[in-house]
Structure 1
């Protein structure tokens, strides 16, 4: 049954089956993960994107809220070879269009050869190729410099583990996954989550031992407030970052970033530590990368394309990772990153709990 259409920026219109009705548009990207679909779909880093799963069957172990990384689905639409009833019903309840019964291998090959592209999707009884093309046309007119942080960040200060006896971490929420907070709380840290546009006064109010810039969607240049905090506190507080956070910190310290052809999205990305030469498998979800590290040293690289995966400065007490050491989904090879972050505070003043 054909009652859905995907209009691609390349000019093609792909027929599909509607599993959750609606119309949508966004940047078409793919993930190679074959498990962890609940975590991927609730990852704020997928905001404004259309997520294609390269693994053929998605939803085969149901939908459980305790696996969610945030309080909602973030991709604007979902594409798969086959979606189960459980996940189709969940996406429909979330108002997120979803389609299947199309050749996702062909879509992924097209993205790998031509790069991530914009698309329009129409699904349901009223869907036509023309309505999908209308969505694509609207997508092409979207600004590349939207205030995307406002769509994924908390709008108020949130405190986790207020009675923790470890360091206090000011986590700047640019679209943070919940498991980042959990990883810090598991180590007895008090985590003060602040909005993506937090000010110096906001940070001062929590008197942190570490300033931590989270992951998030889109271009790091859109997160000017977070970069301003890095500039303010570099050399005064230990700094840490994951994914977008690495990019923001690098740019604030004289580095440069660039958009990748199709990004890294999956749970099997090999990363080598340049000091130990050890290779670990990592979870990743990003479309931008650091092209010049500025004042930071590249300490880890992606084995596949040599892009920077870890940046550090012993002098400035900075440590960042491009991948997701908290995983969820994915391997737990790099959870010790959070130990390394909190270890930066051993010689710092003890925070005064608010």
Structure 2
């Protein structure tokens, strides 16, 4: 194997081994998940990021397409202590650089201490430290893409019919800001019809469907960049029940008078504890986000992260709004919060209140 190099914004250049060649740049983040590497690597929320796996061996149960959350790998590069040949070959075929042989515990500690940082990667027979530094310099010169939604969203709307035995006769307009496939599957399994719309869908697009629920999906980057989705929330709140997951929660909160902010290193992994403020029940959740709601606006905070008290659930019974910061579809991860989708469909059966 040839050498690879990872240049960190903090000044260090790390020497590693190449498992899939190429150069890359992006925000360096980590996940604590020890399973679900296929789901993580195909999660659109990792667009424009470099993903470090804290678990030492990635690939010990192969690569199966039925576990994918989208049709491609989204991180710009992947880092692990060790990749199996299956994963390395998959990433190489996808054109995504992969490097191994680093002390990922040390790297994760640096991210936790210093925050998510930009990095540059060079891997392959001719790679040099200077190549990695050049990628880092180019990354430093990039502003955050305000059009990131276009990189992960569908180009044209489409509809998926339910695969449950009992059709619940509920139509969900899912605004695709980078939606994981398992969100769609979770709704279909409960008998809903899902209309998947681009991230920049117009109010007229939604009105043509007359949906029972407007659902804003997860996605990458700053929620402030998803202005069209926010405008849909403004238009339909109080008229149509609204749900959101991850970035969707942030978009909904901003539209209803709230504020969001960037976190130091985000929540990424399958072991994030969340406490329900009404029941005091604690559940374990899957998360992948770098921004959080700083002010819920018109919404009530009903769930918080046990580790840092950031909002994990926002509700408004009056406006028929229900959002979660974590991923209740749980792919990968614990199934503690799957009832969220049941609650969304129950909400869809009730008339929304009239917004002021």
Question: Shorter chain as normaliser: what TM range?
Answer: over 0.9
- Give unmatched runs, 5+ long, in structure 1: 350-354
Give SS of 1:337's match.
helix
The yes-or-no answer on 1:29 pairing with 2:37 is no
How many angstroms apart in 2 are the aligned matches of 1:96 and 1:273? 39
Mapping 1:195-344, distance limit 5 Å: 195-344=198-347
- 8 Å contact from structure 1 (residues 49, 76) kept in 2: yes
2:197 alignment counterpart: 194
2:149 alignment counterpart: 149
How many angstroms apart in 2 are the aligned matches of 1:84 and 1:162? 37
- Give unmatched runs, 5+ long, in structure 2: none
- 8 Å contact from structure 2 (residues 2, 125) kept in 1: no
1:182-211 superposed Cα distances (whole Å, 9 cap, x missing partner): 000001000000000000111012110000
How many angstroms apart in 1 are the aligned matches of 2:297 and 2:134? 42
Give SS of 1:206's match.
coil
How many angstroms apart in 2 are the aligned matches of 1:236 and 1:10? 49
How many angstroms apart in 2 are the aligned matches of 1:302 and 1:191? 30
Give SS of 1:344's match.
helix
- 8 Å contact from structure 2 (residues 26, 49) kept in 1: yes
Query: 1:162/1:276 Cα in 2 relative to 1: closer, same or farther (>3 Å)?
Result: closer
How many angstroms apart in 2 are the aligned matches of 1:4 and 1:329? 29
1:36-60 superposed Cα distances (whole Å, 9 cap, x missing partner): 0000000000000000000000000
How many angstroms apart in 2 are the aligned matches of 1:327 and 1:89? 26
- 8 Å contact from structure 1 (residues 166, 187) kept in 2: no
Instruction: Name the TM-score, length of structure 1 as normaliser.
Output: 0.97
1:6 alignment counterpart: 6
- 8 Å contact from structure 2 (residues 162, 189) kept in 1: no
1:56-90 superposed Cα distances (whole Å, 9 cap, x missing partner): 00000000000000000000000000000000000
2:93 alignment counterpart: 93
Instruction: Measure how far apart 1:165 and its partner are.
Output: 3.8
How many angstroms apart in 1 are the aligned matches of 2:233 and 2:142? 29
1:179 alignment counterpart: 182
- 8 Å contact from structure 1 (residues 298, 312) kept in 2: yes
Stretches (4+) displaced over 4 A: none
Give SS of 2:86's match.
helix
1:75 alignment counterpart: 75
- 8 Å contact from structure 2 (residues 76, 97) kept in 1: yes
- 8 Å contact from structure 1 (residues 2, 15) kept in 2: no
1:313-340 superposed Cα distances (whole Å, 9 cap, x missing partner): 0100000000000010000000000000
How many angstroms apart in 2 are the aligned matches of 1:43 and 1:162? 23
2:61 alignment counterpart: 61
1:117 alignment counterpart: 117
Instruction: Name the TM-score, length of structure 2 as normaliser.
Output: 0.97
1:352 alignment counterpart: none
CA RMSD after TM alignment:
1.1
The number of residue pairs the alignment matches comes to 349
